[in-house]
């Protein structure tokens, strides 16, 4: 049986971060589609319906929380798990993100490749149960 690669949309305004994450995850069998801003990211999510969305919060065109709210308001995308990836490492943001918005996980930059892979595997395993 052929393993189907998991599709991930990574919304991040820094191309180097997208390239780095792609490098880490392609080796693990993931397909990473980068989007350089919130609007482009939402378009990609609606078009591709990925298995997971990696979402930066601080972006010039559209705040990450706006992207998240639009995803959750849309019937076709609300089931897609979201992992917030951000340099905003303040604990209050983490609490807000995980509990109020109910994002699936939260990774602070800089992060290790293993941290990223562990988070993805945890979130995908949880999504498979639902």
CA distance 23 to 27: 7
What DSSP assignment string belongs to 110-125?
S--HHHHHHHHHHHHH
pLDDT of residue 2: 47
Give the start-to-end residue ranges of the domains of the chain.
6-129
6-129 CATH: 3.40.50.2300
pLDDT value at residue 92: 58
Report the C-alpha dihedral over residues 42, 48, 51, 53, rounded to 10 degrees: -20
pLDDT of 5 reads 79
Distance CA 85, CA 112 (A): 12
Which two structure tokens, joined as six digits, stand for 6? 């998991």
pLDDT averaged per 10 residues, the chain (length 130): 77 95 96 96 97 91 89 96 79 60 83 96 90
- By the 8 A CB rule, do 54 and 64 touch? no
Q: What's the confidence (pLDDT) of residue 99?
A: 62
pLDDT of residue 100: 66
Confidence (pTM): 0.89
Alpha-carbon torsion (94, 97, 98, 103), positive or negative = negative
Question: Quick one: which of 105, 10, 5 has its CA closest to 53?
Answer: 10
Q: What pLDDT shows up at residue 122? A: 95
């Amino acid at each position: 049986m052929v393993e189907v690669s998991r599709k991930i949309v990574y919304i991040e305004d820094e191309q180097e971060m997208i390239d780095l994450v792609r490098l880490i995850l392609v080796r693990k069998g993931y397909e990473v589609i980068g989007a350089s801003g919130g609007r482009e990211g939402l378009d990609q999510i609606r078009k591709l319906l990925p298995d997971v969305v990696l979402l930066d919060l601080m972006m010039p065109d559209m705040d990450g929380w706006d992207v998240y709210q639009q995803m959750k308001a849309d019937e076709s995308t609300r089931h897609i798990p979201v992992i917030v990836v951000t340099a905003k490492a303040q604990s209050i943001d983490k609490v807000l993100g995980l509990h109020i918005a109910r994002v699936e996980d939260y990774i602070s930059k800089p992060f290790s490749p293993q941290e990223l892979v562990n988070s993805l595997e945890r979130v995908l395993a949880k999504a498979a149960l639902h």
